[in-house]
A and B are shown apart, each in its own frame.
Chain A
Amino acid sequence: MGVEIKVDDLSKSFGKQLIWGDVTLTVPAGEICVMLGPSGTGKSVFLKTLIGLLKPDKGSILIEGTDIASCSERELYEIRKLFGVLFQDGAMFGSMNLYDNVAFPLREHTRKSESEVREIVMEKMDLVGLLGAEDKLPGEISGGMRKRAGLARALVLDPEIVLFDEPDSGLDPVRTAFLNQLIVDLNAQIDATFLIVTHDINTARTVPDNIGLLYHRHLAMFGPREQLLSSEEPVVRQFLNAQKVGPIGMSEEKDATDLAAEEGQELPPLPPIPLQLDPSNGVPRRSQRPAGEWCRDNGVTPPPGSFESSNAGLAPGA
């Protein structure tokens, strides 16, 4: 049914360099969240901290009453069984074929017989569209296939929380669209909590229930999709609409002279908010909210043309 992740006042630095500080957010159970941020703002570090691969300097991460940041190694290995993680390049074990890779967690953690293992593995392989490729080695397949195989492995223990580290990096727009559809369908099917780290704004605009934005060593904003897409806050607005005008520069921050030069420049109007991606069977997900509900409830007028099409305001070609 999905598990809530409660992050409180989390900070992480490498040596003297602060990566991000005071991050407080709650990933609601069963919902899809996207964590956005310009390159190099520590999105992957955030993900690795959530699963205890990196220790934060302060703060807590509560999952089912266990604090990942301070629990013992043994508790950590226990709690990780709730997680499924899709790594950037799939992180398949190079010495095993795809079948053994996907079967690995089952063989390690369950006492299922080989025929039961086979049944589950084949089901997951079918889910990600990799039937027939079981005997291939990870080195012999394309990056997109490795990602899908990684997803199959992440799902094999029926996780309560699924983390995606840039599922769309290195994929073509068509495959990205298929993968996004797969993510939405999966969420409808297993009701797990999904957290996607990405910097692809098309994914961020259409897939999630909630969006977070990491910028300049802190969490700039975290909230429902419609809140961020209709936000006038400069950083959020610039990033979600891929504009050059705004506080984000080529190297993290713009300097004062650049910002001064932009002063008075007319900001382009906010693009319309697209419809959220529906599961392919058309039945809304349990955590999905009706289009425009947040805007109505909070008295925000969405940009003109919102909620009319599923690709409004997206970058061309998507």
Chain B
Amino acid sequence: MATSVSSRALAPVAVAGNLFAFALDVLRGLFRRPFQLREFIQQAWFIASVTIIPTALVAIPFGAVIALQVGGLIKQFGAQSFTGSASVLAVVQQAAPIGTALLIAGAGGSAIAADLGARKIREELDAMMVLGIDPIQRLVVPRVLACMLVAFFLNGMVSVVGVTGGYVFNVILQDGTPGAYLASFTALAQLPDLWIGLIKALVFGLIAAIVACYKGMNAKGGPKGVGDAVNESVVITFLLLFVANFVLSMIYLQVIPPKGG
């Protein structure tokens, strides 16, 4: 009885350990030749095609909400001239990478987990290993790199679309002055804000892809197992992303002094 309780309590630790071991295997696979260029391009194209439009559609209201919220608050302090700056900071540093990650995980990651899960239960992965081909090198590494690449570019797109959305809402709904919005960009925001946004996007793409591949490759128990794997991969990715975002933001705020502070 005691052992079954302890083994149940330790199960999540084992999953975390296996996930980490899997990530190390992927890291090792990154440097193994031949690199699967064809698979990489196909996957990058596929992930981009399922994420671009939803991401753009999410980015507009995301930018707008931040503009409205920050604009409303900042008005009470009488600092309307900083609205642009504040929303740029929020969008570039936080909203863009998080929005990107949610869509990479929700659209790209779930597709990867479903694809690999289906291959797993049809024994395709076993067949591949038996044919002397390592599925981590052949299937996982290209997907992880593709996810990171697409996340990197999507992050740029979300930044642009989000800031534009914020601008439109600020100018039209909150009677902000276009000149002040644009001019204040550099008042608080600085170049490293852009870097941290891009680094976050890369890290989130990495986490989303690794979790999706891990869950997909460990699917078991028939078609229902694939559904469970997809579901778990999305939930675990979201949890990890918010933790990773918190850690990265904290480090960033410690290391880079805020401008004008």
Contact = CB atoms under 8 A, between A and B. Distances in A.
Interface in B51-102: none
B132 A91 contact: no
Contact of B123 (A89, A109, A153): A89
A104 interface: yes
Q: In this complex, which of A91, A104, A109 has the most chain B Cβ atoms within 10 angstroms of its Cβ?
A: A91
A77 B132 contact: yes
A88 B123 CA distance: 9
B253 to A, nearest CB: 42
Contacts of B131: 80, 104-105, 108-109, 153, 157
Given A91-B123, A91-B124, A94-B124, A85 B130 contact: yes
Contacts of A237: none
Contacts of B127: 85, 87, 91-93, 150, 153
A48 interface: yes
A218 to B, nearest CB: 25
A85 B127 CA distance: 8
A133 interface: no
Contact of A77 (B122, B123, B124, B134): B134
Nearest to A79: B132
Contacts of A108: 131-133
B57 to A, nearest CB: 29
A94 B123 contact: no
B118 interface: yes
Nearest to B42: A95
Interface string A94-123: 100000000011001100000000000000
A44 to B, nearest CB: 10
Contacts of A92: 124, 127
Interface residues of B, number: 14
A164 interface: no
Contacts of A48: 126
Contacts of B128: 93
Interface residues of A, number: 23
B252 to A, nearest CB: 38
B183 interface: no
A303 B21 CA distance: 58
Contacts of B130: 51, 53, 80, 83, 85
Interface in B105-125: 118-119, 122-124
Contacts of A51: 130
A175 interface: no
B172 interface: no
Nearest to A93: B124
B13 interface: no
Contacts of A53: 126, 129-130
A81 interface: yes
Contact of B122 (A78, A83, A91): A91
A78 B131 CA distance: 10
Contacts of B126: 48, 53, 87, 91
A153 B127 CA distance: 10
Interface in A67-81: 77-78, 80-81
Nearest to B133: A108
Interface in A36-57: 48, 51, 53
A91 B124 CA distance: 5
A80 B130 CA distance: 6
A109 B34 CA distance: 12
Contacts of B132: 77-78, 80-81, 105, 108-109
Contacts of B118: 94
A26 B68 CA distance: 76
A4 B19 CA distance: 37
A79 to B, nearest CB: 9
Interface in B127-145: 127-134
A312 B129 CA distance: 41
Contacts of A91: 122-124, 126-127
Contact of A87 (B119, B123, B133, B134): B123
A80 B123 contact: no
B124 A80 contact: no
Contacts of A93: 119, 124, 127-128
Given A53-B129, A80-B129, A89 B134 contact: no
B20 to A, nearest CB: 18
A308 B204 CA distance: 71
A104 B128 CA distance: 10
A53 B124 CA distance: 13
A91 B129 CA distance: 12
Q: In this complex, which of A48, A87, A109 has the most chain B Cβ atoms within 10 angstroms of its Cβ?
A: A87
A244 B128 CA distance: 40
Q: In this complex, which of B126, B127, B129 has the most chain A Cβ atoms within 10 angstroms of its Cβ?
A: B127
Q: In this complex, which of B119, B126, B128, B131 has the most chain A Cβ atoms within 10 angstroms of its Cβ?
A: B131
B149 to A, nearest CB: 21
7 contacts: A80-B132, A88-B123, A92-B124, A93-B124, A93-B128, A94-B118, A153-B131
Interface of B: 118-119, 122-124, 126-134
Given A94-B118, A104-B131, A108-B132, 17 more contacts: A48-B126, A53-B130, A77-B132, A77-B133, A80-B130, A80-B131, A85-B130, A87-B123, A89-B123, A91-B122, A91-B123, A93-B128, A94-B122, A108-B131, A109-B131, A150-B127, A153-B127
